[in-house]
Amino acid sequence: MMTAGAPEGPLVSERPLYPWAIPLRARLRAEPGDFRVDEIAATEPEGEGEHVWLRVRKTGLNTETVAEWLAGVAGVARPAVGYAGRKDRHAVTTQWFSVQLPGRAEPDWSADPPAGIEVLTSCRHGRKLKTGHLAGNAFHLRLREVRGDRSAADTLLQRMRQGGLPDYFGEQRFGHANLERARAWFAGRSRPRSRNQRSLYLSAARAAIFNAVLRRRVEDGSWDRLLPGDVANLDGSGSIFPVTAVDETLRGRCERLDLHPTGPLWGQGDTGTGGAVRALEAAVANILGDLSGGLERAQMKPARRPLRMRPRRLAWSWESEETLVLEIELGPGEYATGVVGGIALIDASG
């Protein structure tokens, strides 16, 4: 049962905590093709308009690098290029970009692309592609050098497919050192050099607070159930509502994964929670005061995110005794590394 008061112990430096024993060890990303991501578009380009939408396959590069290359080829400022979401660097990924070219012909995107970038298709559309405008992502992951209890892993994957798992922000959200740079910025020791860096640092700070809250709720067993004072999320949507009391109807909907408890994306203003939930979140934010204070000074608007994710699709197969292949489809903002982390400890070398 959750109780009010400050959590104790490390909050950010530990691995994400799961409510079960992890049965495997493995390597991930032994080569880029072991981590493949395909963006699922929310909108297909219509064929006309001042924006050119391009589907790009990238290997070993981050999304911002591709956006900057597209701007350079088109001869436009970087803000004229849009994308729906950042994709993993150490992977093979496909995603949509948009480039604003009103009244101008397209350049030859294939003339001299750098290694790791392939423009697959392009088509005109009337609007810029904005962050968050995607239906989800499909992942094809290969875990190599797997050791451990295969039977337990199969059982656990079935459990996650049916009952969901903690929705931690993945390692990608923190980048190489975004959290450390956010702290340096908030402390006045440095400043972001671009709008993109500012966004990355703010996102990392919010993710750290969210993950810390989620870890505490995994510890006390409330990550997958509603408590009085929670803010509930309607599965598969951005709809949320406060929970003042938990009756049998709400309890049943949460058990069926129709509703999920949420955690904070910290900012300036009220979180919408109450009771012990509010006390725990405030205590975590106080312990991580350098991050929460920096977010408030940056005037970030508070928001909520589900504590639990339910994969839209989760399938797996054993290619060999030591190779496990996962096929996962997730909604926007959900991380396949969270599914992987729920079944395997990943060796640092992979």
Reduce the secondary structure of the chain to three states and give it as a string. Answer: CCCCCCCCCCCCCCCCCCCCCCCEEEEECCCHHHEEEEEEECCCCCCCCCEEEEEEEEECCCHHHHHHHHHHHHCCCHHHEEECCCCCCCCEEEEEEEEECCCCCCCCCCCCCCCCEEEEEEEEECCCCCCCCEEEEEEEEEEEEEEECHHHHHHHHHHHHHHCEECCCCHHHHCCCHHHHHHHHHCCCCCCCCHHHHHHHHHHHHHHHHHHHHHHHHHCCCCCCCCCCCEEEECCCCCEEECCCCCHHHHHHHHCCCEEEEEEECCCCCCCCCHHHHHHHHHHHHHCHHHHHHHHHCCCCCEEEECEECCCEEEEEEEECCEEEEEEEECCCCCHHHHHHHHEEECCCC
For the chain, give the longest Cα–Cα distance: 62
pLDDT at 268: 97
The residue assigned the tokens 């290359």 is: 69
The ranges assigned to domains in the chain are 43-132, 156-309
Nearest CA among 341, 172, 320 for reference residue 328: 341
pTM of the model: 0.89
Beta bridge partners of 94: 38, 57
Cα(102)–Cα(123) distance, integer angstroms:
13
pLDDT at 349: 53
pLDDT at 112: 84
Beta bridge partners of 190: none
The sign of the dihedral angle between the CA atoms of 93, 96, 101, 107 is positive
Burial 147-186 (b: 16+ CB within 10 A, else e): eeeeeebeebbeebbeebbbbbbbebbbbeebbebbbebb
pLDDT at 178: 94
CATH topology for 43-132 is: Pseudouridine synthase (3.30.2350)
Q: pLDDT truncated to tens, each residue of the chain (350 aa)?
A: 333 333 344 444 457 999 999 999 999 999 989 999 999 999 999 999 999 999 999 999 999 999 999 999 999 999 999 999 999 888 999 999 999 999 899 999 988 889 999 999 999 999 999 999 999 999 999 999 999 999 999 999 999 999 999 999 998 899 889 999 999 999 999 999 998 899 999 999 999 999 999 999 999 999 999 999 999 999 989 999 999 999 999 999 999 999 999 999 999 999 999 999 999 999 999 999 999 999 999 999 999 999 999 999 999 999 999 999 999 999 999 999 999 999 999 986 54
CATH code of the region 156-309? 3.30.2340.10
Active site residues: 88
CA distances for 214 relative to 17, 21, 28, 162, angstroms: 9, 17, 24, 20
Please give the single-letter amino acid code of residue 123. C
